[in-house]
Amino acid sequence: MSQALAFANGWNLAITLMVCVVVFHADAGNFGVMLAAEYDGDPAAVIHEFDPFQP
């Protein structure tokens, strides 16, 4: 998915589910979104983490 869509989906998931979500860079210019607790990929690929508990 595009970067703009990944950020929009990540923010929406974090706020709706009240969980920490990461946006990461996948291959060939694609981006992904998943729960931070389940992400076990390269930490350098993480672009942003949405934490709904941060003010």
Two structure tokens written together for 33: 């979104």
* 18 part of a folded domain: yes
* 35 part of a folded domain: yes
d(CA 39, CA 55): 23
Phi and psi dihedrals of 30, rounded to 5? -95, 155
Task: Give 51's pLDDT tier (boundaries 50, 70, 90).
Answer: very high
pLDDT of residue 28: 86
Higher pLDDT, 39 or 54: 39
The total domain count for the chain is 1
pLDDT of residue 27: 84
* 55 part of a folded domain: no
Two structure tokens written together for 23: 């946006």
Q: pLDDT tens digit string along 10-43?
A: 999 999 999 999 999 988 889 999 999 999 999 9
* 45 part of a folded domain: yes
Q: Residue 41 belongs to what domain range?
A: 3-50
pTM for this one? 0.87
* 21 part of a folded domain: yes
